[in-house]
Amino acid sequence: MQVLTTAPALFTGAYGGTTYGAHYGDLGATFAAILLDREARSLTLDMDPIHGQLREPLLKVYHILRTLGFGSNGKGYLHDIVTAGSIGQQHMKAPTVFNFYDPLYQPPGAVAEAQLVSPEAQLGTGPNMVGFLNVMTGVIRAGSSGQAWVWNGMTSYLPIHPANSSATIDELELLLTGGRLAAPARALIKARYEQKLASTGGNAAEAVRVAQELFLFASEFHASNYVQERAVPRTALPEIPSQNRPYKAIVYLWLDGGADTWNLLVPHSQCTGGVDLYNEYAAVRGANALPKSTQLPIDVPATDDQPCTKFAIHHKMTALKAAYDAADAVLLANIGPLIQPLDLQSYNNGAPRPPSLFAHNLQTTVSQNVHAQNSASARGVLGRIQRVLEGDQPSGELPHRVRSYSIAGNAKVLEGSISAPEILSADGPVRLSRYAALQSDVSELAGSEAASIYAETYGGVLERSIESAEDLKRALDNPIAALSTTFGSDVVSRQLQQVAKIIGARSILGNEREIFFISYGGWDSHFAGDYDVAKKWQDVNAGLTSFVTEMKAQGIWDNVTFTMASEFGRTIDSNGGGTDHGWGGHSFVMGGSIKGGHILGKYPSTYSQSSPIRLHRTFIPTLSHEALWHGLAQWMGVEDAVMTNVLPNLRKFTSECSPGFPGCIILTQVR
């Protein structure tokens, strides 16, 4: 309804019978329409637990600075200090044209149970929340040019009646939470204000800093509706004991933007039927084709039934080439999201296919949940693997102790487990800088359940993140977890360094299974200027090289499996500069337990439009994501009797699949 009333105000300059500017684009009328709308002023809606939203980090920063009367000293700019690395957002620096978050993002927990979305919650990771609190408590406690590493400026706010604690807390409550602070939180902050006032001989500035700092931890500051705190401590996530099984880990690299993997695996020579598949590749790819002479040739067993017995790997991916030659890697040809096996004929006949093909956000969801027809509510495939392992197996096998970690924020692929993923930054766990001083108060402010689904989402993540960061930091600081390999400074290397550290601490953490998510963005190569894909593969290779070296040094390479994915492949042909959104693409799996030296799936036997799987400028996948995850789930310990809990579409590619049809392949290529 607000859009319905705001749009005319913007166009006419008038709202509610009042003329503000009487011209198009008048901001007075626009803001009046927003602030005076019935929805904006409704106390009933404010009390509704599912009405409202979480607030974006950058908007909270500006709110605090205005409230505190912050003034710059002219020596620096706020956007140089408040970075995406510290709070999850940065002024004028959205990571993509699609903003900082997905408009359809649905965090697990209360919001998902209400079947709603909370886009801002995608930024609500432990590192971002704690990073925000570290930055803003720094501004409150320092806020002067003498602490230029925190802020270049100072705060000037003092309450009207500093000696009157009730009046002061009332004032701060109005300014920071709109008068919505719950009674228990208010009582705590008031008590701490009075204690500081007494211990400093009435120093109002010091006492106000204490109160302001605690307001930052209250859920009311971060959610827009009434929290309505329940007097019920938040239920702790279950702690599953270890049965001392042999350790195993999956590392999943997400190439965000749609990676052009048609240059990762290229036909070389020795092709069947007199076809020169490399020449077809070079002709259709045009300027984006790679010279045969510079690529890394690999031999393909005739039993793999590929169109050639010699292919080539991208020249920057020397680590993949080495792993393939050592039988530690398999390449996955023409893999992609499917609901059932397809070819061009069945596609044209209306057979089911994933929704919104070629769309970044929905294909990210589909590729990570591996349940394409249920993209709205299905959880992630790795989350489902974890959930099955965390329960009793049909054979009577006791639950596994499993932990999942993301070094790259919230990820659909990890959703669905019983124990929530632990999120850390590429620099490691982000700890609360004033943990020792604030631990007790923070626990009291964030430790109880909230009726507001947004406050509950915030409070649950904050409480869990603060404590888990402390635990993980202690484990990683142990000499047992020290690495013997030097990692680079590129995006992939930094993330894999953290993965290697956690794996190195496995005996301290006591986990039997670990799952890791890392991500590398910027693969959406529509234009020639975007087409520095070789540099990106170089970064992937640098990280992989160091990671494999470290895993072998730890003697754990046989227990680790690495794979990568992207939301879709690219078009086969060029658009005149780069490539556009496609469907099928290539991937790989590597690890010491892989039966390597093979290309699995089915590489297209021709690039021409006569191909039975060529769909305009792209290829219909002939290998499903189910095929890959079947083998990896088995290796992790998922029993066949419950495999459909992990892969709901599995039977579409097995018992219900017509023999010989493209896509009727399920992988078990793990020793």
What residue spans of 144-234 are helical by DSSP H?
Answer: 165-177, 183-199, 204-215, 219-222
Contact by Cβ (8 Å): 534, 643:
no
Q: Fill in the amino acid letter for 291.
A: P
Neighbouring CB atoms inside 10 A of 642's CB total 16
Position 145 scores a pLDDT of 37
d(CA 77, CA 84): 15
d(CA 69, CA 64): 8
pTM: 0.92
Q: How many residues in the chain? A: 671
pLDDT exceeds cutoff 60 at 79: no
pLDDT exceeds cutoff 80 at 192: yes
pLDDT exceeds cutoff 90 at 349: yes
- Taking only the tens place, the pLDDT of each residue in 373-419 is 887 788 999 999 999 999 988 999 999 999 999 999 999 999 999 88
176 SS3 class:
helix
Q: How far is CA 193 from CA 151, 205, 208, 444, 577, in A?
A: 24, 10, 7, 16, 62
d(CA 107, CA 120): 10
- Taking only the tens place, the pLDDT of each residue in 129-184 is 999 999 899 888 875 333 333 455 667 788 889 999 999 999 999 999 999 999 99
d(CA 457, CA 131): 17
48 SS3 class:
coil
79 SS3 class:
helix
Which residue carries 């939301």 as its tokens? Answer: 567
| Domain residue ranges in the chain | 1-41, 248-426+461-652
Mean pLDDT for the stretch of residues 206-217: 94
485 SS3 class:
coil
Q: Give every CB contact of residue 268 below 8 A, 6+ residues apart in sequence.
A: 278, 292, 295, 297, 308, 310, 311, 312
Position 74 scores a pLDDT of 62
Q: Give every CB contact of residue 97 below 8 A, 6+ residues apart in sequence.
A: none
Radius of gyration of the chain from its Cα atoms, rounded to whole angstroms: 27
Neighbouring CB atoms inside 10 A of 477's CB total 14
- Taking only the tens place, the pLDDT of each residue in 114-125 is 999 999 999 999
Contact by Cβ (8 Å): 328, 594:
yes
d(CA 365, CA 422): 20
Identify the CA nearest to 88 among candidates 111, 118, 120. Answer: 120
Identify the CA nearest to 598 among candidates 311, 278, 364, 375. Answer: 311
| Greater model confidence, 541 or 659 | 541
- For β-strands 329-336 and 623-624, DSSP reports them as parallel
What the block records as the tokens of 448 is 């109880």
Q: What percent of the chain has pLDDT over 90?
A: 70
For domain 248-426+461-652, is the CATH number 2.60.120?
Answer: no
What the block records as the tokens of 256 is 């965000």
pLDDT exceeds cutoff 60 at 1: no
Position 199 scores a pLDDT of 96
302 SS3 class:
helix
Neighbouring CB atoms inside 10 A of 93's CB total 10
Contact by Cβ (8 Å): 585, 570:
yes
598 SS3 class:
strand
Q: What percent of the chain has pLDDT over 70?
A: 94
Which residue carries 């350790």 as its tokens? Answer: 247
pLDDT exceeds cutoff 80 at 358: yes
- Taking only the tens place, the pLDDT of each residue in 255-314 is 999 999 999 999 999 998 778 999 999 999 998 999 999 999 999 999 999 999 999 999
User: Average pLDDT over the chain, rounded to whole?
Assistant: 90
Mean pLDDT for the stretch of residues 513-533: 87
Contact by Cβ (8 Å): 604, 619:
yes
CA 507 to mean position of chain CA atoms: 27
| Greater model confidence, 285 or 83 | 285
What the block records as the tokens of 502 is 């956690």
Position 47 scores a pLDDT of 87
d(CA 599, CA 299): 10
What the block records as the tokens of 26 is 């008048």
Position 82 scores a pLDDT of 73
DSSP-assigned states of every residue in 147-171: GTTT-SEE-----SSTT-HHHHHHH
Position 147 scores a pLDDT of 37
pLDDT exceeds cutoff 50 at 440: yes
- Taking only the tens place, the pLDDT of each residue in 461-477 is 999 999 999 999 999 99
Contact by Cβ (8 Å): 446, 217:
yes
